[in-house]
Amino acid sequence: MRKIAAQLFVSLDGVVEAPDQWHFPYFNEEMGAAVDATLGTADTLLLGRKTYDSFAGAWPGREEAGGEDASFAKLLGDARKIVVSRGAPEFTWRNSEPLAGPLTEAVAALKAEPAGGTVWVSGSVSVVRRLLAAGLLDRLNLLVHPIVVGKGMRLFAEGEPPIPLNLLSCTTFRTGVLNLFYGPAAEPAAATYADAKAHLPQHEA
């Protein structure tokens, strides 16, 4: 059975939109290793249409140019790329295919495949939201940047039901970026302030 995981760049105030406008000052070798450990090792990528179009418009050219990032571009090109789209896109990037069927049913079938590594979602916020809500995301990797962007789409939309998560690991980069990995968690037990106050330090009056 395959695992479904997602990696997102996120600001301190939860913004995930247009990371190209605020992310790059924090990209060092630690960040590069974190990205390579996920996307660079994936045999399958699950991408929303906008993210796919952005990737397809950049990475094939970088691979062909043969620059410093050509080897990473080749890894992405060689990976199977499954695209979530309402339309019928024409794919120009090799190893690309549309997701067959409704998102949750198709991803559940993808998870049930007996062979293959982790399927990684990069960007594609709407896809991540729907997979989280459906309980289909096995791991959520958030690279939290120490910057308040102040505007743009947040990862978690207002008005959605709570989604409990379990912190699996946390690493701090020299830039102050937090590399956080979360997994699914059970619903927390009900509690009130009366339960919490028992854990407060006791001071003499």
Which domains does the chain carry? 4-199 (3.40.430.10)
**In 22-63, at which residue ranges do the beta strands (DSSP E only) sit?**
44-48
For the chain, the straight-line distance linking the first and the last C-alpha, in angstroms and rounded, comes to: 58
Q: Are 5 and 136 in contact (CB under 8 A)?
A: no
pLDDT, tens digit only, all 205 positions of the chain: 899 999 999 999 999 999 999 999 999 999 999 999 998 888 999 999 999 999 999 999 999 999 999 999 999 999 999 999 887 778 999 999 999 889 999 999 999 988 778 999 998 999 999 999 999 999 999 999 999 999 999 999 888 889 999 999 999 999 999 999 999 999 988 999 988 988 999 887 7
Global pTM value = 0.91
Beta bridge partners of 144: 10, 178
Edge-to-edge strand list for the sheet holding 165-172: 96-98, 80-84, 44-48, 119-122, 4-11, 139-145, 178-184, 165-172
